[in-house]
């Protein structure tokens, strides 16, 4: 298994979240999700200013295998989207934790990030999926 970044939190839907110094949370999908999807061909993202509740679909990702929904790990308002993915969706394949980020949210609750799965919990979750 690929080493998970230890500064991120994770969801059962295979999204990751990174808390930024300004209080926002950056969201993307995990390497596990990328590997399951195969080559990413398109990413559909929301508009800046859109608001989502935890668990809401905020867009979708198309791959050679399927179209999958993207789920919001925390409740909040979109303050930025990764516009580079419009022309270069393959960035998600190449660097899902860096250039392949998707949206930046301003969460409604400062505790939302810490409620997500730790890297250790997510690793255990992935192990349980393959048992």
Tens of pLDDT, residues 24-68: 999 999 999 999 999 999 999 999 999 999 999 999 999 998 899
- Nearest CA to 103 out of 41, 39, 60, 40 is that of 60
Q: Which residues contact 78 (CB under 8 A, 6 or more apart)?
A: 46, 47, 48, 49, 50, 51, 52, 58, 103, 104, 105
Please enumerate in sequence order all residues whose Cβ is within 8 A of that of 8, keeping only pairs 6 or more positions apart, or say none. Answer: 16, 17, 18, 97, 119
CATH 1.10.630.10 assigned to 9-130: no
Q: What is the torsion angle, in degrees rounded to the nearest 10, for the CA atoms of residue 53, residue 58, residue 63 and residue 65?
A: 40
Q: What Rg, from alpha-carbon coordinates, does the chain have?
A: 14
How do the domains of the chain map onto residue ranges? 9-130
pLDDT (tens digit per residue) in 56-108: 999 999 999 889 999 999 999 999 999 999 999 999 999 999 999 999 999 99
């Amino acid at each position: 298994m690929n080493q998970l970044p230890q500064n991120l939190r994770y969801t059962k839907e295979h999204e990751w979240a990174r808390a930024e110094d300004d209080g926002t949370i950056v969201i993307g999908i995990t390497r596990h999700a990328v590997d399951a999807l195969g080559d990413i061909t398109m990413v559909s993202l929301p508009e800046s200013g859109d608001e989502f509740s935890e668990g809401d679909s905020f867009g979708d990702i198309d791959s050679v295998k399927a179209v999958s929904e993207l789920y919001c790990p925390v409740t909040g308002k979109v303050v930025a989207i990764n516009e580079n993915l419009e022309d270069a969706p393959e960035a998600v394949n190449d660097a899902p934790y860096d250039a392949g980020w998707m949206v930046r949210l301003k969460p409604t609750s400062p505790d939302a990030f810490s409620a997500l799965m730790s890297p250790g919990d997510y690793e255990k979750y992935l192990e349980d999926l393959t048992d």
